[in-house]
Amino acid sequence: MSNKKTILIAEDEAAMLRALSKKFSGEGFNVLEAKDGEETLANALDKKPDLVMLDIIMPKMDGIDVMKKIREDRKWGSEVPIIMLTNLSDAGSVSEAAKFGVYDFLVKTDWRLDDVVDLVKAKLNL
């Protein structure tokens, strides 16, 4: 990848965060990590990554609230691709996220790391 893309991975489960971070780093991405909603929002607004992978259930601020705050940034935040990570297939969260232009949900038990990388690359047109 000539022009390294930066992704922000927001995940409070340490093992999952390590696995995702290692996989994306190995694929040539710059990886930013966050373990709670407040840290995620601060990193997102400060660093403006090319894509955000956002766990729904996190300490301090949940992923839905973080997504809403990111979307309030009219330049970067309104356009940045966001992929929601969840342990649950919660119709309410899916519906709420769709209102903010987020249509990609990954239920953690349903995918392999290679599938996640493929989705991210597709979102970033790589």
- Separation between Cα atoms, residue 50 and residue 7, nearest integer Å: 6
**pTM of the predicted structure, to 2 decimals:** 0.88
Which H, E and C letters describe 22-65, residue by residue? HHHHHCCCEEEEECCHHHHHHHHHHHCCCEEEEECCCCCCCHHH
Q: What is the pLDDT of residue 99?
A: 77
In this structure, what CATH number is given to the domain that contains residue 38?
Answer: 3.40.50.2300
In a domain, 63, yes or no: yes
In a domain, 41, yes or no: yes
In a domain, 126, yes or no: no
When divided into structural domains, the chain yields a total of 1
- Across 110-125, average pLDDT: 88
> How many angstroms from the chain centroid is the CA of residue 17?
11
Residue type at 115? D
53 forms beta bridges with 9, 83
104 forms beta bridges with 83
Spell out the long-range contacts of 109-113 with Cβ–Cβ below 8 A and sequence spacing 24 or more.
113/19, 113/20, 113/23
In a domain, 117, yes or no: yes
Q: What is the dihedral of CA 78, 75, 11, 22, to 10 degrees?
A: 120
Average pLDDT across the chain, whole number = 88
Question: What would the pLDDT profile of 27-46 be if each residue is shown by its tens digit?
Answer: 999 999 999 999 999 999 99
In a domain, 1, yes or no: no
- Across 99-124, average pLDDT: 82
In a domain, 48, yes or no: yes
What is the domain range of residue 78? 6-121
